[in-house]
A and B are shown apart, each in its own frame.
Chain A
Amino acid sequence: MADRNIIEIRNLTKIYDLGAIQVPALKGLNFEIEEGSYTAIMGPSGSGKSTLLNILGCLDRPTAGAYILGNDDVAHMSDKELSGVRGARIGFIFQSYNLIQQLNVIENIHVPLFYQGKDISDYYDHCEKLAQKVGLGDRLDHRPMELSGGQQQRVAVARSLVNEPLMLLADEPTGNLDSTTEQEILDILDELHAEGRTLLVVTHDDAVAERASRVIHLKDGQVDKDIRKQDSDRKSENQFQEA
């Protein structure tokens, strides 16, 4: 894998100002994420996991420090600029799938492109290919209500890929799924990793973290452990080939 860093975090600090008291959630984090890596972020509740996820997803801004995504420091961008960054560089996968109920599979996959100003008529084939890639080529006109949880999460994965993001950001992607479906989704993530995509998964589930090549443990707003597993990289690829 290339050594280019997709993400560089420098002294990332987030303090929640509750008026009377100030609650520090992140206390000066430093780490990099390389292109093509598969990283899990773990930690108990209150460790700053969610806060870090929000900042990495450009949904929130840090109080201090730098967050370089691609080549730009996005830490202090305006709301409008951040919207653009989210739409163009990040592919979100949520715990509760978060598909838009009134749209069918293909329209849901297309949503991020719409906000990039790209019309569905020009990208229909692209969206269809992604639906086929996650195994839903025969359900293009189904509404989320008509799909199982696993199928909905597959749509969400396809949607996260539609704008060719710099990284996929998954928040407990299997939290709402039974163990069989969980394996399916994790296999898809492995497949994407094998394709060279950069994955960042926030989870408290060891089974999910096991697939990653690197696990960053947070504790009290700081990096507690940063473990790189050279062999787990191969292991996950092997699992995929077996599957």
Chain B
Amino acid sequence: MYALALIRTFQAGLKSLRLHKLRSGLTMLGMIIGVGAVIALVAIGEGASHDAQEEIRALGAKNVIIRSIKPPSMREQMHGDWESFFRRWMAFYGLKRTDATRIKDTVPGVSRVLPMLTKRMNAVHDRREVGCQLIGTFPYYPEFTQAEMVAGHFLNTAEENTKASACVISLSLAERLFAGHNPLAEEIVVRGYESEQVFQVKGILRERADIEKLPQLPGSMGQTIAANVYIPLSTFKSLYGERNVDRSVGNLVLEAVELSEIRVEFDTVEDVLPALPLIDEALKAGRDERDFEIVVPIQEMVALRNQKARDTRMLLYIACISLLVGGIGIMNIMLATVTERTQEIGVRRALGATRLNITVQFLVETLLLCLVGGAIGVSGGWAFAEFREFLTGDSTIVKAWSVIMAFGLSVLIGLVFGLYPARRAAHLDPIEALRHA
């Protein structure tokens, strides 16, 4: 019986709100904007963080990436003396193969180490020539980077052992170099400053896209350039020497890097963080300058997660403020409504309504304003998020908790800000209220 009475009260509430459509709409506007903003912003934030986490996961949560960087002394301006000139012009720095073996031998929990050599070259096929990155690496490279084969196979152990002139090219290079026809078993020429080598294409590799979109990660030495040619590490060494001398034409810079990158894979994610000081220790041996950097995807992930939590909290604060403002607006209108309907309140009291009846009646009206506003806000925010995903292609994720929270907050706001006007209505003196014109 009470349930039915409550339903009737809701119906009556809807009726009085419909009586003043414009006013009800304007009153709900604050709520609609507040709730819509929460839904849309949370969805966009979740989507962005989802994308970023996917990208970091692509680098491998169990991995640590060590990259060669120019040490500070070589980045200095030339001082006019021969030593500084020489250090800049003929720069020898970076990771060595011994570093890779030392890490493998001394750091516990390391399952595999993937050394990588890179060189800036041009790939030529037919009359097309495309700037590319030549990468010498081991057969298990795709597993490390979650890259997948589109066609053919990746370099295998046999090719590694025989120093074969085999290569795997990235999908985007294949598209640019072969323009539609099948590159498998075709030959490409890799042309450098003073060399020209022929490789047979064994496979096409699709790398994890968008890695360069990560602003937290410094540009890696080659993987971000989508035009990649992968060859066996042994082939690379025998063709281009022990020291990978990278000459950039026109720059008059002669740099020598033995390994441009070492990727370290651990057995489990838990092994990664405790091992970081040990990796540092292993690399420090035999160095007087820090000519490497360590990128830890799992750390980036944790940092990103923390940042996301901060961002979400911020959004919630903003949302709470806008809902508060919306709630005050609603309370203001409800107070005006109570004044406007004083006589009706008096009549209802005379006809047997208790104070509780009146309180419930006005509380329900406020609640309805908030709920309807909340519902419009949720659908509006949702639609906005979907529309943005459609426009920009960035994923947006409407979280169930944000919908529940937005609704919960609407109800809470309705109850809190509806209670005062409702109680004021209920405590009007029926005699005075009846006399009110």
Q: Which residues of A contact B (CB under 8 A)?
A: 54, 57, 59-60, 79-80, 83-84, 86-88, 92, 94, 96, 98-103, 111-112, 114-117, 119-120, 159, 163
Q: Cβ of A115 and Cβ of B353 under 8 Å apart?
A: yes
A86 and B347 contacting across the interface, CB-CB below 8 Å: no
Closest chain A residue to B4 by CB distance? A119
- A170 CB, nearest partner CB in chain B, Å: 12
Task: List B305-320 residues whose CB lies under 8 Å from chain A.
Answer: none
Does any Cβ of A come within 8 Å of B404's Cβ?
no
Q: Can you list 18 pairs linking A and B with CB atoms under 8 Å apart?
A: A54-B431, A57-B350, A59-B349, A79-B355, A83-B354, A88-B352, A92-B351, A98-B343, A98-B434, A101-B19, A102-B12, A102-B15, A103-B15, A111-B348, A115-B352, A115-B354, A119-B1, A119-B5
Judge whether B350 and A59 touch: CB under 8 Å. yes
Residues of the B chain whose Cβ atoms lie less than 8 Å from the Cβ of A101 = 19, 344
- Report the bound CA distance from A99 to B346 in whole Å: 11
If the complex has contacts A59-B431, A120-B8, are A115 and B357 also in contact, measured as CB distance less than 8 A?
yes
B332 within 8 A of A: no
Give chain A residues whose Cβ lies under 8 Å from the Cβ of B350.
Answer: 57, 59, 86, 92, 94, 98
Whether A115 and B351, one on each chain, are in contact in the complex, defined by CB atoms closer than 8 angstroms, is yes
Q: How far is the CA of A117 from the CA of B346 in the complex (A)?
A: 19
Q: How far is the CA of A98 from the CA of B349 in the complex (A)?
A: 12
Q: Which residue of A lies closest to B353 (CB)?
A: A115
Q: Is the interface of B mostly helix, strand, loop or mixed?
A: helix
B183 at the binding interface (Cβ < 8 Å) = no
Q: Which residues does chain A contribute within 8 Å of B354, judged by CB atoms?
A: 79-80, 83-84, 115
Minimum Cβ distance to chain A for residue B125 (Å): 80
> Which residue of A is nearest B7, CB measured?
A119
Which residues does chain A contribute within 8 Å of B437, judged by CB atoms?
96
Residue ID in chain A nearest B430 by CB atoms: A59
**B344 adjacent to A100 (CB under 8 Å):** yes
Docked complex Cα distance between A114 and B12 (Å):
12
Query: What residues of A have a CB within 8 angstroms of the CB of B357 in the complex?
Result: 83, 115
Write out the residue numbers on chain B whose beta carbons fall within 8 Å of the beta carbon of A94.
347, 350, 434
Q: What are the interface flags for B324-367 relative to A under an 8 Å C-beta threshold, 1 for contact and 0 otherwise?
A: 00000000000000000001101111111111110000000000
B117 → A minimal CB distance (Å) = 81
Residues of A within 8 A of B434 (CB): 59, 94, 98
Q: State the Cβ distance, B338 to closest chain A Cβ, in Å.
A: 15
Complex partner residue of A100 from B347, B352, B355, B356, CB under 8 angstroms: B347
Report the bound CA distance from A218 to B355 in whole Å.
Answer: 32
Determine whether the beta carbon of A159 is less than 8 Å from that of B344: no
Contact between B430 and A114, CB atoms less than 8 A apart: no
Q: Of A98, A102, A117, which is within 8 A of B16 by CB?
A: A102
**Across the interface, do B5 and A117 meet the contact criterion of CB distance under 8 Å?**
yes
A112-B351 in contact (CB<8A): yes
List the 10 closest A-B pairs by CB distance, nearest first.
A87-B352, A115-B352, A83-B354, A98-B347, A112-B351, A115-B353, A86-B352, A59-B430, A102-B19, A92-B350
User: Within residues 5 to 22 of chain B, which ones have a CB less than 8 A from any CB in chain A?
Assistant: 5, 8, 12, 15-16, 19
Given contacts A59-B434, A60-B431, A114-B8, 4 further A-B contacts (CB under 8 A): A59-B350, A102-B16, A117-B1, A119-B5
Chain B residues in 8 Å Cβ range of A100: 344, 347-348
Q: How far is the CA of A202 from the CA of B354 in the complex (A)?
A: 25
- Chain B residues near A60 (CB-CB < 8 A): 431
Chain B 406-437 per-residue mask, 1 if CB under 8 angstroms from chain A, else 0: 00000000000000000000000011001001
